Amino acid sequence: MIGLEQRAAPERGWIAVAAAWSVSLAAFLAWVLTTPAASLRGQLSYLQFWSLETCVFLGLALTAAALQELPRVLERRDLLGMLLLMVLAVGLTTSMARRTNRVFYDEQIYQNIGQNLAASRRALMCNDGTIQSGRLQCALGEYNKQPYAYPHVLSLVYRLLGVRETAAFVVNAVAMALCVSALYLVVLILFADRVAAFFAALLLALTPEQLVWSATAAVEPTASLACVGALLAGACFLRWRSTVSLAGVAVAAAYAIQFRPESFLIIPVIALLIWQRAPEEFTRTRLWWAGLLFLALAAVPVAHTIAVSNEGWGTTGERMSLAYAVKNLRVNGRFYLADARFPMTYTLLALLGLCAWRGARGRAAIALYFLLFFGIALLFYAGSYDYGTDVRYSLATYPSLVILGGLGAAWFVRRVEERKFGRRVRIGLTAALVFQFLWTYSPVVRAIDDSAWAARADVQFARSLVPDLKGHSYVLTHNPGMFQVWGVSAGQMSLAAANPGYLDDLSDRFPGGVYLHWNFWCSVQDPVQREFCVKVLALRPGEPIREQSARDQHYALYRLGAKARDH
């Protein structure tokens, strides 16, 4: 009887797991498949905030538990090494890289969504917002196609320190430092190699495009950090094999997939790593309970993906297709082998680490990490690293490359040290890598791409207007979010173009004046966008307050008169 009871207990456990998965999947599918897209977006605009808050709360709690285990593997020299590398990374990011926007106007949209999350707990880009007592009151919002984890991170900072444009740049500089230290820990815990951990972190700290984009307000630096954090959670679980650390993997993975659409690719990487190092876990119910926790936390971002699946993403053709692969491969493959923006030395060290290093299993998962994030860009219509500013997509591949590069550097150092050169070899290699960066790649970090000059000039001009607009004034523009972050009430120009009476309402509500921002979109080839500018300016007498020209672009601020013109 005892034997039968012992056999029945595991069977009951698997039955419970299967039942829980079946019910959860059925409930999720019933929700997303029976809810109209518009209604689903409306629901998600409320759910995004609380889903991300839950991930952050659980993540912090589980991280606190994991920190108690780290003293088992960390020594004083590890802490000192990580600190020095973090200082190096932040120092180069803040002193060498030019702090500016490079993706227009996505970076401003992310900040505005973060502002709205902080003010109203709603995941919306604000198209008609009033600043009251320093707080955004959004009368009309739009659900954005991009994932919401990065704006939520910004909202956390805004809630603590107030809404500031500089906050996004600080977040990315901090993300750079944390990514360096997280990579050190990943290599140390997975491969038990301090030399490899040091060089992996050093390579990332000296990667030109990583530094360039860490000095922007773009999402890619935090997206990369989140994936490395999920990988670190997986490494901690494989080291300690506790149920708490397994729950940490589920939470970290669910959080990581909410930064970029392709961030979900970190899931098969973690799965392969566990399969390589602890295959027996797949036969235990706790792994599947952790998977159910992941499903619960990932339900909102997966529903988001379904809700925005019909978005054009800037093209009327296929967004993803094998037809783009060959063309993108020519550019993206060359990037790692013969491009002024990426050190070929890192690629060679990564190949050495993949082929020559012999130690704990895990290299295949790291190689898969690179292949997945490299390969997904090849299938994207705008996935070429030479397309506009889309070199930022390469940031997702750097963690895997530098991990393998660290292993390669450690193998090289030990082979040469065997010839009685001692520790001078690792010092010499460190000096050589730093010298290579300063001599060859520092100009890349200092440079500003000219491709977005018109939008950059527009933002600089708009920012210069803020001292004259703060108070009881309102700006009609194509990019109201950036004015709202700067503390100025603003709305979409199309609102007045579609409803001229709206100007009367604005004039009554804002005694400081209603202004029209003649911006970048007023000069583009798109007739729809240009018509908004011309039509609104024709509705009222427009007094030019400030004007500025840059090359063939014209920017201006008009104060709209109180009375409509007679027709």
Shared domain for 345 and 477, answered yes or no, is: no
Shared domain for 388 and 492, answered yes or no, is: no
Last residue of a domain, one of 423, 448, 473: 448
Last residue of a domain, one of 448, 469, 497: 448
Shared domain for 350 and 374, answered yes or no, is: yes
Could you list the residue range(s) of the whole structural domain that residue 541 is in?
453-560
119 domain-assigned: no
158 domain-assigned: no
Q: Give the pLDDT of residue 365.
A: 96
As a whole number of angstroms, the distance between CA 454 and CA 306 comes to 34
Q: Dump the DSSP string for 202-237.
A: HHHHT-HHHHHHHTSS-SHHHHHHHHHHHHHHHHHH
156 domain-assigned: no
Shared domain for 349 and 257, answered yes or no, is: yes
Shared domain for 285 and 403, answered yes or no, is: yes
Shared domain for 424 and 509, answered yes or no, is: no
Shared domain for 521 and 400, answered yes or no, is: no
140, HSE (Cβ side, Cα atoms, 13 Å): 10
Shared domain for 339 and 414, answered yes or no, is: yes
Residue segments in the chain with a per-residue pLDDT below the cut of 70: 1-9, 420-422, 563-567
- Per-residue pLDDT of 375-425, as tens digits, reads 999 999 889 999 989 999 999 999 999 999 999 999 999 888 877 666 788
Shared domain for 322 and 423, answered yes or no, is: yes
Q: Give the pLDDT of residue 421.
A: 66
**Residue 127 main-chain phi, psi, to 5 deg:** -95, -10
Report residue 384 as tokens: 């070429």
Q: Which residue has tokens 């759910």? A: 47
Shared domain for 302 and 265, answered yes or no, is: yes
When divided into structural domains, the chain yields a total of 2
Last residue of a domain, one of 448, 480, 496: 448
Q: Give the pLDDT of residue 565.
A: 45
As a whole number of angstroms, the distance between CA 425 and CA 402 comes to 19
The Cα-based distances of 327 to 317, 318, 322, 351, 377 in angstroms read 16, 15, 10, 24, 11
Shared domain for 226 and 194, answered yes or no, is: yes
